[in-house]
Amino acid sequence: MEIIEKLSNGFQIDSLFLLNEYVNVKRILKHHLPAKNLTIQGNLFQTMQEYEEIVLIWEYDFLHLTFNYDFEFLQFKTCHLEFLSSKANLPQLFNRFLEQWTQSKTYPKFQSMMVRLHDPSFNIPTDTILEGIWHHRLPNNHKLEFKCDYFWYNLYRMETVHGKYEIRRHADNQKAILSIESVDNLFYWNFYVV
């Protein structure tokens, strides 16, 4: 560990990928953050507060997280977010994010988000996600271009994306597209500022 820290001292890390197996995760993150891109797979901390104090204080180009702590999407300061969870209240959390986005209260550089909810018994919660949000249903043949090379999108490629909605921000009429898909017991909602 000391050798890696000495070799990387003074250099900004471009991308950092951490899995459950890392023993010294706090030390690694404290030494190597900020990084442009960060992937954390698994519950590597005891509490969400540790995430806030070590990880969420930084800005990222790309942030990929997999955990089941209580959180709000507004905590993430990133241009692109990829998120996997099995929390039952994920649709409500995403709805609150959409509401805040339409009111220009989200991270200003935010561009895209892919959220994945793993739950084999779950129906696509479109009504919950869009509750109270002005939206316009787009035709099924409307093409959705992915602006970010998401890790899970490459594993579960969706050639045809259905369930697309246009959403606009109140202050500047900025448009965003929301698509909702299900593939192999994973529910995806993709949100792109266009």
- The rounded distance, in Å, linking the Cα atoms of 118 and 161 is 18
- Per-residue pLDDT 10s for the chain (194 aa) are 455 555 556 566 788 887 765 567 777 787 778 888 888 877 777 777 877 788 888 898 988 887 767 778 888 888 888 887 777 788 888 899 999 999 999 988 998 888 887 766 666 678 888 999 999 998 877 766 655 555 555 554 544 455 689 999 998 999 998 888 777 767 778 888 88
Answering whether pTM is above 0.85, one says: no
- The rounded distance, in Å, linking the Cα atoms of 58 and 4 is 22
Contact 60, 78 (CB under 8 A): yes
- The rounded distance, in Å, linking the Cα atoms of 41 and 83 is 10
